[in-house]
Amino acid sequence: MDGLTSMAHGLTSAQAAVAKANHVPRRSSRSLSAIVRANVFTLFNLVIGVLWALILVFGEWQDSLFGLVIVANALIGIIQELRAKRTLDKLAVINEAPVRVRRDGGEREIHPRDVVLGDLILLGPGDRLLVDGEVIDSDGLEVDESLLTGEADPVHKHPGDRVLSGSFAVAGSGAFVSTKVGTDAYAVQLAEEASKFHLAHSELRAGVANFIKYITWLVIPIGALLIYSQLHNSADLRTAITGAVAGIVTMIPEGLVLMTSIAFAVGVVRLGRRKCLVQELPAIEGLARVDVLCLDKTGTLTAGGMDLDQVLPVRDGEPVEEALAALANVDGHPNATAEAVRVRYPAAPDGWTARSTVPFSSARKWSGADFGEHGAWVLGAPDVLLHTGDTYDRAAELAATGTRVLVLCRTDSLAGTERGEAAVEPVALITLKQRIRPDAHETLRYFAKQGVTVKVISGDNPVAVSAIATSLDIPGGERSIDARTLPHDDPAALGELLDTHTVFGRVTPRQKREFVTALQARGHTVAMTGDGVNDVLALKDADLGIAMGAGSPATKAVAQVVLLDDKFATLPHVVGEGRRVLANIERVSNLFLTKTFYAIVLSLLVGVAGVAFPFAPRHSTLTNALVIGIPAFFLALAPTLERAKPGFVPRVLRFAVPAGVLCAAAVLLSFWAAHKSAATLLENQTAAVITLFLTTWWVLVLIARPLTWWRAALVGSMAVLFAIGLTLPFIREFFALEPGNLGNDLTAVGISILAALMTSVAVKVAGTLRT
Just list the catalytic residues. Answer: 296
**Can you tell me the distance from the alpha carbon of 557 to that of 539, in angstroms, rounded to the nearest whole number?**
10
Q: Residue 367 in contact with residue 379, Cβ under 8 Å?
A: yes
How far is Cα 142 from Cα 364, in angstroms, rounded to an integer? 12
Contact 464, 405 (CB under 8 A): yes
What's the Cα-to-Cα distance from 254 to each of 202, 454, 603, 659, rounded to whole Å?
A: 20, 41, 17, 19
Nearest to 84 by CA among 24, 25, 32: 32
**d(Cα 128, Cα 539) in Å, to the nearest integer?**
15
Q: Are 447 and 407 in contact (CB under 8 A)?
A: no
Q: What are phi and psi of 113, to 5 degrees?
A: -75, -10
Q: ∠213-215-217 over CA atoms, to 5°?
A: 75
Q: CB under 8 Å to 418, separation ≥6 — which residues?
A: 358, 364
3-state secondary structure 6-22: HHHHCECHHHHHHCCEC
Residues 158/164/167/168 CA torsion (nearest 10 deg): 50
Q: Going by DSSP bridges, is the β-strand pair 453-457/292-296 parallel, antiparallel, or unpaired?
A: parallel
Report strand pairing: 453-457 vs 480-482: unpaired
How far is C-alpha 587 from the geometric centre of its chain's CA atoms? Answer: 21
Helix (H), strand (E), coil (C) string for 500-556: HCCEEECCCHHHHHHHHHHHHHCCCCEEEEECCHHHHHHHHHCCEEEEECCCCHHHH
If we measure between CA atoms, which residue out of 531, 279, 305, 573 comes closest to residue 439? 573
Q: How many C-beta atoms surround the C-beta of residue 106 within 10 A? A: 9
Element (H, E) at 377: strand 376-380
38-43 contacts at long range (C-beta below 8 A, 24 or more positions apart): 38/77, 38/81, 39/73, 39/74, 39/77, 39/78, 39/81, 39/261, 40/74, 40/78, 42/257, 43/212, 43/216
Peptide bond into 572 cis (omega under 30): no
Closest CA to 273 of 87, 145, 63: 87
Q: How far apart are the first and last CA of the chain?
A: 71
